[in-house]
Amino acid sequence: MLERYNLDVDSPEKVLTVLETVANFYRASAEELQADWQDKSAGAIWGDFATILDRAAQSCRKALDKRGLS
């Protein structure tokens, strides 16, 4: 599923969509692994990556605002 998400986009605003979509996918994967394995640490790295992508999206949003592109 993630193969179709790519940061080679035609507008800066679309970067946010890609980052947030992938973050949500990773977060769901982490939760699914934790539930399947009944282990809070299972899939934790995917949750960590989701948090990192959320922060990147937030930084991108601030940059768009700064440049008047939002």
Give pLDDT tens digits for 2-61. 668 899 999 999 999 999 999 999 999 999 999 999 998 999 999 999 999 999 999 999
Does the pLDDT of residue 65 top 60, yes or no?
Answer: yes
What is the predicted pLDDT for the residue at 1?
57
Residue 4: per-residue pLDDT: 80
- The answer to whether the beta carbons of residues 31 and 46 sit under 8 Å apart is no
pLDDT of residue 44: 96
pLDDT, position 19: 97
Q: Which two tokens stand for residue 28?
A: 């769901």
The residue type found at 11 is S
Identify the three-state secondary structure at position 52. helix
Residue 63: pLDDT band (50, 70, 90) is: very high
Residues near 53 by Cβ (< 8 Å), separated by ≥ 6? 19, 20, 22, 23, 26
